[in-house]
Amino acid sequence: MDCCNGVGRRKFLLLVAGSLLASMAPRRAYSFISIISEADESEIGKKADQEILGRFGRYRDQQLQAYVESIGQRLLSGIGPTSFRYSFKIVDMSDVNAMALPGGYIYITRGMLAMLNSEAQLAGVFGHEIGHVTSRHAAKQLTKALGAQILSLGLVAASPGGRQNAGEWARVSAALSDNVLMGYGREAELEADELGLRTAYRAGYDPGEMVAFLNAMKMKERLEALGYHGFKGTHPETIDRVVKAETMASILIGQGGGSLDVKANEYKAHLDGLVYGAKQDHRHLRIYVAKDGDTPTTVARDVLGDQQLAWEVANLNGVKEAATFHAGDQVKLLPPVSRGLYDGRQLKLSPN
């Protein structure tokens, strides 16, 4: 076999390297060496993007999509030149999740948007996903999962629909889906957490808001035994993640550098009408503008017509049931299933 010239020699060396890397199975995701080029990552992401949108669907709200994209681009402006062309898309899923594909394709579900309570929290989530891309976690995990088979990736991704490549792409797609939906392993998630906090901070956002989000996810995990990919079984224990995030956020905030953005009201104002939960339930988030002295209890009683919904109002807005809202605060509300009226009265929402 002639492996001493041109493409033949390069392919032979990469085959050997791929086999050795696959057999090593190192413990730390970020220490694993990828044999996938950045150009191939972009091609893989481009093709997988079509599958993600075809499988889950894109959420059709152009104004909300433009807002979400603007937050992603603000984060990128703080990290300087990048190897990939990033996009930030909302997928039509009720699950609380955010995902990153190779090449800079980043997604957030409408379920995640409904749970977040500030622009800074959204920035923290996007920063985490950007961290996965810049650290090339997907490429490293694909190399680890497929070994030498990964060498055909570039051709597979660049030749969509090719019958001879269907089997190869199916294996790549399956391995990629596992990592996108379930995460990249403990070390990779901790690395992405740190990078996400730094990215949000550099863009002028309060990193403490990401800690608040992680605490909310910890509560959700306890109540529902569910959570976004960062809380799956292959990821760091939730409490460990929160502690590490708290430490990092404190260090960053301690550096000073001026005021940091939270933008809770600005964020919530964009969620009015967002589809919540299963589509067939026909539920939408509504935004109520609080009066001075309002509490979750008074809002539940006076606006929703049911004081028993106070805990839901508090939980939805990331506050305690005893909290007091300020005049002008945007408050997320969730009308009960199949009820547009409350004791014969229309939902009392103050004008935005």
CA distances from 270 to 94, 113, 174, 237, 267 (A): 17, 10, 35, 32, 6
- Paired tokens of 298: 């008074």
pLDDT (0 to 100) of residue 39: 85
Cα separation, 59 vs 95, whole angstroms: 13
pLDDT (0 to 100) of residue 6: 44
pLDDT of residue 339: 47
For 75, half-sphere exposure in the C-beta direction (CA atoms, 13 angstrom radius) is 34
pLDDT at 173: 77
Task: For residue 281, count other CB atoms closer than 10 A to its CB.
Answer: 13
Residue (of 70, 46, 58) closest to 126 by Cα position: 70
pLDDT recorded at residue 153:
52
Residues 6+ apart with CB under 8 A from 335: 283, 284, 286, 304, 347
Residue 155 CA from chain centroid, whole number: 29
Which residues, in sequence order, are CB contacts of 170 under 8 Å at separation 6+? none
CB 275 within 8 A of CB 110: yes
Q: Which pLDDT belongs to residue 41?
A: 85
Q: Which domains does the chain have, with CATH numbers?
A: 22-254 (no CATH), 272-346 (3.10.290)
| Owner of token pair 């028993």 | 308
- Residues 90, 110: Cα–Cα separation, whole Å: 6
> Tokens standing for 21?
């890397």
Residues of the chain with pLDDT under 70: 1-35, 147-168, 178-182, 224-237, 337-352
**How many other CB atoms are found less than 10 A from the CB of residue 218?**
17
Other C-beta atoms lying within 10 Å of the C-beta of residue 138: 27
> What pLDDT, on a 0 to 100 scale, did the predictor assign at position 125?
97
